[in-house]
Amino acid sequence: METADFEYVRDLVRKRSAIVLETEKSYLVESRLTPLARREGFGSIAEVVAKLRMSGFSTLHSKVVEAMTTNETSFFRDLQPFEALKKVVLPDLIAKRSPVRQLRIWCAACSTGQEPYTVAMLIKENFPQLSGWDIKILATDLSTQVLEKAKTGCFNQVEINRGLPSTYVVKYFERAGLNWQLKQTVREMIEFRPLNLIEAWPVLNPMDIVFIRNVLIYFDVQTKKEIFGKIKRLLRPDGYLFLGGAESTLNLDDSFVRSEIEKASVYRLR
Amino acid sequence: MHALIVDDSRAMRHILRKIVEPMGFQIAEAGNGLEGLERLNEIPNMELVLVDWNMPEMNGFEFVKAVRANPAYTGMKLVMVTTETEPSKMARALMAGVDEFLMKPFTSEMLLDKLQLIGVGMPSMA
């Protein structure tokens, strides 16, 4: 890939998503954009970039940004945060919210939906007493393409095989041809909406739990600080924040204090 | 630590061995359910069994029922690794006492994820 083309893509992605692509990530750009070029009828990445240069922000620009920002995900990814959720976080919040019988959970950067669906299934499986509660899981992502897939609740065998307990497969999924689809009772717990973390956020309800995992790692320091500032205003005073394993609020926002629950790092407001 | 691989395909037994052996298991192999029961008889402290469903002589489902009916094998982890993908069969296997069910084809990462779920080699989810 030509250096100038890489720099063009890097600047575009940086501007639209705040994700920083280091020069050594040019292999990543190639591996993500080659299928896109083919799909869109171009002979090479160079042709895609040439087309991008010819116009202002277009659908093609948007597709390139989405291709570069879609991240790997799986059900019960990392396991420990969900152990913490099951054993400590939800029991604590259920006790505190029993007068209002309401819980609000946000999965930011939800990708194809495995994280919010994991949360929904975990609630159904372990907290049947919440059946009469008003529980909403908001799941957002920058990419409308992944959200469309997420909304269907359809997953292929490879996705089902990864990290999902078989008891959950049997209880919460139905066969849909060669794929597996989550049952309506799980799908209806989640609202999927597009949201770009680095742009102005729409008005969101106060949240009891926020998952924003494995996305801040791509952002520069200033952007991380701005996002933590917004989460701080959104999270209820006794709420919980989950970050990815390699992420932390340390040296970025001292309003949060880290604690370890079930080997997972959990952040709470001071 | 001992683990048993029960599959009528030698190639599949080899693949599974390569994934599980580095976790510190001593591996025994069997080509069908009956042979699998013989191996269990020879090695009493088996911790983990990976078992296929469709095999000659005795299939994996019958093997699982036989193992779970024997109190000597309480606590043994059973993972079914199979081309079967019907939810009803998966449910039957779980009812019969399988701890996890992995559909072929799979990657080593998928198998390790499943083992993590049942606390083999890593902290348990239970």
- We report the CATH number of the domain holding residue A131 as 3.40.50.150
In a domain, A75, yes or no: no
pLDDT digits (tens, 9 = 90+) for A87-111: 999 999 999 999 999 999 999 989 8
ipTM: 0.86
Are residues A17 and A61 both part of a single domain? yes
> Could you tell me the pLDDT band of residue B123, with boundaries at 50, 70 and 90?
very low
d(CA A54, CA B60): 61
pLDDT in tens, A198-237: 999 999 999 999 999 988 877 889 999 999 999 999 999 9
Q: How far does A166 lie from chain B, in Å, by closest CA?
A: 6
Q: How far is B118 from chain A (nearest CA, A)?
A: 9
Domains held by chain A: number: 2
Nearest to B113 among A162, A174, A263 (CB): A162
Q: Which residue of A79, A83, A166 is in closest CB contact with B90?
A: A166
Are residues A244 and A170 located together in one domain of the fold? Answer: yes
> Best interface-test mutation with A: which of B83, B101, B108, B112 has the largest number of A CBs within 10 A?
B101
Measure B42 CA to nearest chain A CA, in Å. Answer: 30
CB-CB under 8 Å, B91 with A76: no
Closest CA to B43 of B6, B99, B1, B71: B1
* B125, pLDDT greater than 50: no
CB-based contact B87 A169, cutoff 8 Å: yes
Nearest to A269 by CA among A212, A228, A227, A221: A228
Cα–Cα dist A268/A172, whole Å = 31
Residues of B in contact with A160 (CB under 8 A): 103
Which residues from B are below 8 Å from A165, CB to CB? Answer: 100, 117, 125
Q: Please say which residue of A69, A91, A115 terminates a domain.
A: A69
Q: Are residues A59 and A94 in the same domain?
A: no
Write out the H or E segment, with its range, that includes residue B5. Answer: strand B2-6
pTM of the model: 0.82
pLDDT (tens digit per residue) in B3-23: 999 999 999 999 999 999 999
Q: What per-residue confidence (pLDDT) applies to B18?
A: 93
Q: What is the mean pLDDT of chain B?
A: 92
Q: Which of A23-32, A89-98, B61-70 has the lowest mean pLDDT?
A: A23-32
Q: What is the reported pLDDT for B122?
A: 52
Domain hosting residue A40, numbered range:
3-69
pLDDT attached to residue B91: 94
Write down the domain spans for chain B.
Answer: 2-117
CATH of the domain at A44: 1.10.155.10
Which homologous superfamily does the CATH classification assign to the domain defined by B2-117? Response regulator (3.40.50.2300)
pLDDT of residue A124 exceeding 50, the answer is yes
Q: Does A175 touch chain B (CB under 8 A)?
A: yes
Q: Based on the domain organization, do A258 and A142 belong to the same domain?
A: yes
Residues 79-98 of B with CB under 8 A from A: 85-87, 90-91, 93-94, 98
Asked if B62 is an interface residue toward chain A (Cβ–Cβ < 8 A), one would say no
Residue-averaged pLDDT of chain A: 92
User: Are both A167 and A45 inside the same structural domain?
Assistant: no
Average pLDDT over residues A238-267: 92
Per-residue confidence band for A71, with pLDDT thresholds at 50, 70 and 90? low
